[in-house]
Amino acid sequence: MKEALGPARYEIRVAGVLDGRWAAWFSDLQISAEDGDTVIRGLLADQAALHGLLTKIRDLGLCLISVNLLDTGPQ
């Protein structure tokens, strides 16, 4: 079994373009529009924070396209 990751930067892509009003829902994360989708990037404290963000995306009814680990550790 692999050890749980600590802080890590992720890139999460959801379908459609979200306007600036959504920024408050995603606090310290960067939100940008790319190729008709929304990309959410940022540092998450641990796997629990990642799961919390994915739950928020689900609860908002957003269509999840991808989740990518960019790098580990604070930047």
pLDDT digits (tens, 9 = 90+) for 38-53: 999 999 999 999 999 9
Whole-model pTM: value is 0.85
Mean pLDDT per 10-residue section of the chain, whose length is 75 residues: 76 91 83 94 95 94 96 67
Domain ranges (residues) in the chain: 8-72
User: Would you call 65 helix, strand, or coil by DSSP?
Assistant: strand
CATH of 8-72, one of 3.30.310, 3.30.70, 1.10.3470, 1.20.120: 3.30.70
Q: What percent of the chain has pLDDT over 90?
A: 69
Cα–Cα distance, 47 to 68 (Å, whole number): 13
Structure tokens at 28: 């310290």
17 burial class (0-12, 13-18, 19+ CB within 10 angstroms)?
middle
